[in-house]
Structure 1
Amino acid sequence: MKPGVLVISHGSREAEWVRLVEEAVAAAAAQAEVFWLTGLAGVGGQTGDGRTPSVGSRPPVTGCEPGIGVQTGDGRTPSVDSRPPVTGSEPGIGVQTGDGRTPSAGSQPPVSGSEPSIGGQTSNDRRLPVVSSFLEIVEGRLIQDGLDRLEAEGVTELYVLPLFVSSGSTHVDDIAQAFGLPPVSPARAGELEPLRCGGMRVHFGQPIDDDADIAELLLANIRELSEAPERERLLLVAHGSREAGFFARWRGGMTRLAERMRQGGGFAGADTAMLLPDQAACKLRALQRKRPGQNVIVVPLFLSVGYFTRTVIPSRLSGLQYRYNGRAMLPSPYISQWMGGQIAAWLENRDPNRIE
């Protein structure tokens, strides 16, 4: 079984967003490939930063062809339907960005053709293909394009990693349903056409939610705003959702992330607010009324700087006192570290000898 990884993020017309995602995925791919190659050599067991990946929450890897099925990281089992075969371009080798570029040599481990084979594999067979794709807008780089590329690379076992803030995102649900998984809410059908997975077995991963690496990232983002954390409160603000089932997922992940930040930064408290429904101003007013002696630092939970961080959040909080710098999650090495850790944990748990 040849493993491969497809990282999926939201689309954008801004070239800067595409560049930021490409750079983060390339760095994560290099980190994951170090783990993959050393693991094959019997040396592995750690992510690129020396941490041992968590394995307890990883369900068995299944697939997306009839009779195989797909399973998501939260344990949902899909309905099974027929999928036509996928054809692709000539296979390339190695860690690649979605447009076929290979990350610079300085960001990935060298793999020479003279290396001894491991387990009967040549050095080329041992490379771990990692491709980034986008939900929409970016022509030639959509999800099906990424699947086609990975199938052409010979991938038979696929890890799909959604680069999104929350498992409450309806976009994540749309993607999961396109892979054949059931909806989060029976009342909401997915907005994407079914994807063609070829013969690949697929494991659907989980978005960020309350990951410890991201808590560290956000603490670093607001460090300049904090003067006396014991007299300050955090207000995490994210997109959110009004829809049944999705609101609770947003709230749960945000609440856990806020608590990680409170503990990690030594803050007096941490609260959350969504833009949908419109909670931000109401939550901030309530905090200032109940805790008049505490300053509030507003923390945006967005992957990229843009309309929501520059315009929506400041306009919703207009006239209120708070500290805010509008910094988003990218660019940051923590995002690559999170992705690399997720990929490494999947590689640690996959059973390469399993036969469907």
Structure 2
Amino acid sequence: MSTIKPGVLVISHGSREPKWVSLVDEAVGKLAARLDMPVYSSYLELVEGRLIQDGITALESKGVTDLLVIPLFISAGSTHVDEIAYAIGAKDVPELETELDLFQVQARVHFGTPMDDDPDVALMVWDKVKALSVQPEKEVVLLIGHGSRHGSFRRRWEQGMSSLGRRVSEISGTNADYALLSPGDVRDKAILWKERGCDVIVAPLFLSEGYFTEKVIPERLAGLNCRYSGHTLLPHPLLTQWMESQAVHLLQSLNL
């Protein structure tokens, strides 16, 4: 029987902003300290020398035979998750056309799932906004995600965020709802809840702070007097815990 050596490949989108990358790397570094196997933090784009193929090559050079791939994305509605799964060999055909070339992979690939409505994500969301809460029964936590203009992917965003909203409501005692930057119902949702007499607490569903949280969301909500800190999921210890649970689940599928 051939020897099995697993390794973890974490894949996130990437950013030109060093702080964005450093927060992801910090969380993945803590994951590496918890696992007795090689771990590599890779990026879809924008981080030269740390792209997905770089990660595959680095892990295989350490003798890894089985890649435990963790897609560090907010939603299964991300088209990037679909194209990455295809390019790395986890699915035969992408749902949408992609310019992403097939990766050179010798190891077996075991592909995880995005964050979606995981209970740990709900806890992270509430931790990030609870300081803004005064009277939970008169408030709504409005989750804001990127979304997608592609129908089937948008529905996945909606399904995941709707379920996540229910979890946040159960934890917080507030109302909860969601809105998407694409197709763009953020302002309408905020106005709707204010007309119902609720104070709106905005929770951006993004890994790290950047263009969307610092510019796009505030512009969409301008003049509405919503409560918004701009705090994203990172940094938070539960994100490392979520990645660890993904790795353990994938490892168990190897039947070692």
- TM-based fold match above 0.5: yes
Structure 2 distance, partners of 1:351, 1:338, is 21
Structure 2 distance, partners of 1:286, 1:233, is 11
Cα contact 2:20–2:210 (8 A) shared by 1:
no
SS of residue in 2 equivalent to 1:298: strand
Deviations 1:202-256 (CA, angstroms, capped at 9, x unpaired): 1111110011111111111111100111111111111100112100110011111
Cα contact 1:240–1:247 (8 A) shared by 2:
yes
The partner residue of 1:272 within 178, 186, 190 is: 178
Structure 1 distance, partners of 2:254, 2:215, is 44
Structure 1 distance, partners of 2:127, 2:30, is 20
Structure 1 distance, partners of 2:201, 2:20, is 26
Give the CA deviation at 1:264. 0.6
Give the CA deviation at 1:190. 2.0
| Matched residue count | 252
Structure 2 distance, partners of 1:298, 1:2, is 43
Structure 2 distance, partners of 1:179, 1:209, is 21
The partner residue of 1:141 within 26, 35, 50 is: 50
Give the CA deviation at 1:183. 4.8
Task: Name the residue aligned to 2:75.
Answer: 166
Give the CA deviation at 1:345. 1.9
Cα contact 2:5–2:63 (8 A) shared by 1:
yes
Cα contact 1:173–1:183 (8 A) shared by 2:
no
Structure 1 distance, partners of 2:27, 2:93, is 29
Cα contact 2:17–2:210 (8 A) shared by 1:
no
SS of residue in 2 equivalent to 1:334: helix
Deviations 1:35-91 (CA, angstroms, capped at 9, x unpaired): xxxxxxxxxxxxxxxxxxxxxxxxxxxxxxxxxxxxxxxxxxxxxxxxxxxxxxxxx
SS of residue in 1 equivalent to 2:11: strand
Letter matched to residue 242 of structure 2: W
Q: Which runs of 5+ in 1 are unaligned?
A: 34-126
Structure 1 distance, partners of 2:199, 2:151, is 33
Give the CA deviation at 1:176. 1.1
**Is 2:132 the counterpart of 1:225?**
yes
Letter matched to residue 132 of structure 2: L
| Higher percent of residues as helix | 2
Letter matched to residue 340 of structure 1: E
Structure 2 distance, partners of 1:324, 1:252, is 24
User: Could you list the runs of 4 or more consecutive aligned residues of structure 1 that deviate by over 4 angstroms after TM superposition?
Assistant: none
Q: Which runs of 5+ in 2 are unaligned?
A: none
Task: Name the residue aligned to 1:86.
Answer: none
Q: How does 1:83-162 map to 2 (within 5 A)?
A: 127-162=36-71
SS of residue in 2 equivalent to 1:275: strand
Percent pairwise identity? 50
Aligned in 2, Cα 1:340/1:183: closer, same or farther, shift over 3 Å? same
Cα contact 1:183–1:189 (8 A) shared by 2:
no
Structure 2 distance, partners of 1:155, 1:172, is 22
Deviations 1:141-162 (CA, angstroms, capped at 9, x unpaired): 1100110111111111111101
Structure 1 distance, partners of 2:100, 2:148, is 19
Structure 2 distance, partners of 1:174, 1:208, is 17
Output the TM-score relative to the length of structure 1. Answer: 0.69
Task: Name the residue aligned to 2:28.
Answer: 25
Task: Name the residue aligned to 2:207.
Answer: 303
Cα contact 1:178–1:190 (8 A) shared by 2:
no
SS of residue in 2 equivalent to 1:19: helix
SS of residue in 2 equivalent to 1:327: coil
SS of residue in 1 equivalent to 2:239: helix
| Higher percent of residues as strand | 2
Structure 2 distance, partners of 1:182, 1:193, is 13
Task: Name the residue aligned to 2:7.
Answer: 4
Deviations 1:161-212 (CA, angstroms, capped at 9, x unpaired): 0111111111111211212314563xx21221001111x1111111100111
Q: CA RMSD in A?
A: 1.3
SS of residue in 2 equivalent to 1:132: strand
Structure 2 distance, partners of 1:209, 1:175, is 17
Which structure's CA Rg is the greater one?
1
SS of residue in 2 equivalent to 1:245: helix
**Is 2:252 the counterpart of 1:345?**
no
Give the CA deviation at 1:323. 0.9
Task: Name the residue aligned to 1:316.
Answer: 220
**Is 2:112 the counterpart of 1:205?**
yes
Letter matched to residue 23 of structure 2: L
Structure 2 distance, partners of 1:340, 1:223, is 25
